[in-house]
């Protein structure tokens, strides 16, 4: 490499991102940052909110920004059935890739389905006896727009308790800071130097929050590709077949539901007058000739008074969710766009209107001959495990705080919230609460470190007025904390109380290897080239 490579840049949100094309260029950039006393900020697909927007807001504080859009190569090792993928590769297609607006010279690096990890795995067909047989990963999250580097760094996970994304990680190659300049280091799960997992830095770096360096590539153990078959059923809370609140021992327990089903999640709509649950579940099945996908369809056809609206479904949802911020504005827009619906809705008072609209999103299963008919679906593994993948990030922007608890305390979490919402109906908000589990993890800063977890993800509609940090999230965090329910927050979502000493102590105390994680980080990055203000305020004493 020439001593001063010419590295492309791209403006994203007012920030000039460097687009290195290979590991040497990443090393060059990290050295540049180190010499100029800059902090390196990495962006994957920017799904971590408010993390990435906070990093971008640090632009005037001496930051060097890196986006790995040119580093998405995928290579296969057939003998070991392992795939090595560069850190900038998206898991699936990313519809919000900033390269879509980039000059034509960068067009070749845009995210597509074909250059995504999941697609290439599935289409890696090497068995002439069985042309359907490709590769897969055994678990994925609810969307697959993320990059490999970003998904790993925040300890993200799907709902499978039998296998997880980060458990498939075999090794990771990272450009770290280093006392004498940037270094390329490989960390392996089976490094013979570290027979004890609690000493192997692999388990620190794998969930590294972007603070150990740049993940330039990662190697995963793959499994055979598969299809899934599942169903989604919407019922009232009372008819929910799972004992969510611990008051119906005759129903299936939540832990049994989580452990018996492979892929699952529950959307809970606890608003008074709505009180519904949407249970999504799916099982893997072998690929077979003649399989016809019938993908999961998330947003139902919205009808008002039996009339199907002429608006695209997500636009309907968008208008409705916007309407919750200001009902009068919503009704005035509706008056123009859908007078029939307007005439009907204006007759309802505000207390009835919001539950009425929400129930349009979550219609109960249709009933045929007295029997409810859940939605049935079947698909290739990467088509519908990420059940939310088709939802538009721009029409339905969702912000989250997600708390991970020991799996057996899930029922107490839900009953605490249910009681709280009954007593404080104004706090519940106008969106859903997502409930799902994650498999235990050996990565020291995984929120599932050494325990299977129950997760609750509290949604905030991104176009709402104000911020969820004003009242909504702090109220919920405090309520659960005060009930003695100890949680670990998802690192890629809104984090509680990070900037108080109490908040930091709370985080530290919940991770047995916290100090060791910090010590290894410090060794690898003694000049703190990867410590942004965001992480400093949340993690450092």
Ligand X SMILES: Cc1cc2nc3c(=O)[nH]c(=O)nc-3n(C[C@H](O)[C@H](O)[C@H](O)COP(=O)(O)OP(=O)(O)OC[C@H]3O[C@@H](n4cnc5c(N)ncnc54)[C@H](O)[C@@H]3O)c2cc1C
Binding site for ligand X (CB under 6 A): 42-48, 51-52, 68, 87, 141-143, 146-147, 149-151, 153-154, 156-158, 209-210, 214-215, 388, 398, 490, 492
At which residue do the structure tokens 């920004």 appear? Answer: 65
Longest Cα separation, the chain: 75
CB of 235 closer than 8 Å to CB of 365: yes
**Structure-block tokens of residue 138:** 């055994």
**SS3 call for 130:** coil
CB of 91 closer than 8 Å to CB of 145: yes
CB of 422 to ligand X, least distance (A): 29
Q: Closer to ligand X at the Cβ: 215 or 282?
A: 215
Q: Closer to ligand X at the Cβ: 418 or 493?
A: 493
CB of 200 to ligand X, least distance (A): 18
CB of 61 closer than 8 Å to CB of 537: no
CB of 452 to ligand X, least distance (A): 14
CB of 329 to ligand X, least distance (A): 26
**Structure-block tokens of residue 481:** 């904390």
Q: Closer to ligand X at the Cβ: 215 or 266?
A: 215
CB of 493 to ligand X, least distance (A): 6
Q: Closer to ligand X at the Cβ: 86 or 243?
A: 86
CB of 449 to ligand X, least distance (A): 14
10 Å CB burial of residue 237 (0-12, 13-18, 19+) is middle
C-alpha 149/C-alpha 135 separation (Å) is 20
Q: Closer to ligand X at the Cβ: 157 or 384?
A: 157
**SS3 call for 331:** helix
Point out which residues pair with 101 in neighbouring strands. none
CB of 217 closer than 8 Å to CB of 86: yes
Q: Closer to ligand X at the Cβ: 87 or 270?
A: 87
Q: 355-364 burial, b if ≥16 CB within 10 A, otherwise e?
A: bebbbbbbee
Cβ-proximal residue to ligand X, closest one? 150
Q: Closer to ligand X at the Cβ: 265 or 338?
A: 265
CB of 52 to ligand X, least distance (A): 5
Q: Assess whether the previous peptide bond of 50 is cis (omega < 30° from 0).
A: yes
Q: Closer to ligand X at the Cβ: 23 or 275?
A: 23
CB of 135 closer than 8 Å to CB of 373: no
CB of 524 to ligand X, least distance (A): 12
């Amino acid at each position: 490499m020439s001593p001063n490579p010419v590295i492309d840049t791209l403006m994203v949100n007012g920030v000039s991102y460097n687009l290195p094309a290979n590991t040497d260029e990443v090393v060059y950039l990290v050295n540049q940052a180190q010499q100029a006393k800059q902090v390196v900020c990495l962006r994957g697909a920017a799904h971590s909110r408010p993390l990435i927007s906070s990093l971008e807001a640090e632009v005037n504080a001496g930051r060097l920004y890196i986006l790995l859009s040119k580093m998405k190569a995928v290579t296969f090792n057939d003998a070991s059935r392992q795939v090595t993928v560069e850190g900038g590769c998206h898991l699936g297609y990313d519809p919000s890739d900033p390269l879509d607006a980039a000059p034509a010279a960068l067009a070749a690096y845009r995210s597509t389905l074909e250059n995504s990890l999941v697609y290439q795995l599935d289409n890696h067909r090497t068995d002439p006896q069985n042309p359907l047989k490709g590769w897969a990963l055994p678990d994925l999250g609810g969307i697959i727009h993320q990059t490999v580097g970003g998904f790993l760094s925040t300890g993200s996970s799907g709902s499978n308790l039998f296998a997880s994304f980060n458990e498939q990680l075999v090794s990771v190659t990272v450009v770290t800071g280093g006392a004498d300049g940037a270094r390329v280091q490989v960390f392996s799960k089976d490094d013979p130097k570290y027979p004890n997992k609690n000493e192997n830095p692999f388990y620190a770096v794998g969930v590294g929050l972007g603070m150990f360096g740049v993940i330039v590539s990662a190697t995963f153990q793959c499994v055979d590709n598969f299809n899934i078959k599942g169903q989604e059923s919407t019922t009232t809370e009372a008819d929910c077949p799972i004992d969510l609140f611990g008051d119906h021992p005759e129903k299936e327990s939540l832990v049994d539901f989580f452990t018996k089903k492979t892929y699952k999640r529950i959307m809970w709509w606890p608003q008074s007058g709505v009180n519904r649950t949407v249970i999504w579940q799916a099982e893997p099945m072998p690929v077979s000739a003649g399989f016809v996908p019938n993908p999961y369809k998330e947003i139902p056809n919205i009808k008002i008074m039996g009339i199907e609206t002429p608006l695209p479904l997500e636009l309907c949802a968008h208008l409705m969710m916007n309407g919750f911020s200001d009902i009068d504005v919503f009704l005035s827009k509706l008056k123009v766009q859908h007078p029939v619906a307007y005439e009907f809705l204006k007759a309802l008072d505000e207390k009835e209107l919001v539950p009425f609209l929400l129930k349009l999103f979550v219609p109960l299963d249709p009933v045929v001959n007295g029997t409810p008919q859940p939605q049935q679906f079947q698909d290739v593994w990467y088509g519908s495990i990420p059940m939310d993948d088709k939802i538009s990030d721009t029409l339905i922007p969702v912000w989250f705080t997600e708390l991970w608890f020991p799996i057996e305390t899930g029922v107490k979490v839900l009953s605490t919230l249910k009681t709280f919402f009954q007593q404080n109906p104004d706090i519940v908000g106008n969106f859903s609460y997502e409930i799902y589990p994650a498999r235990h993890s050996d990565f020291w800063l995984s929120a599932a470190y050494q325990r299977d977890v129950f997760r609750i993800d509290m949604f905030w509609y991104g176009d709402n007025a104000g911020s969820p940090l004003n009242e909504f999230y702090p109220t919920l965090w405090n309520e659960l904390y005060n009930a003695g329910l100890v949680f670990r927050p998802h690192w890629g979502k809104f984090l509680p109380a990070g900037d108080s000493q109490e908040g930091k102590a709370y985080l530290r105390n919940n991770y047995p290897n916290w100090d060791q994680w910090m010590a290894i980080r410090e060794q690898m990055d003694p000049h703190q080239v990867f410590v942004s203000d965001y992480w400093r305020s949340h993690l450092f004493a």
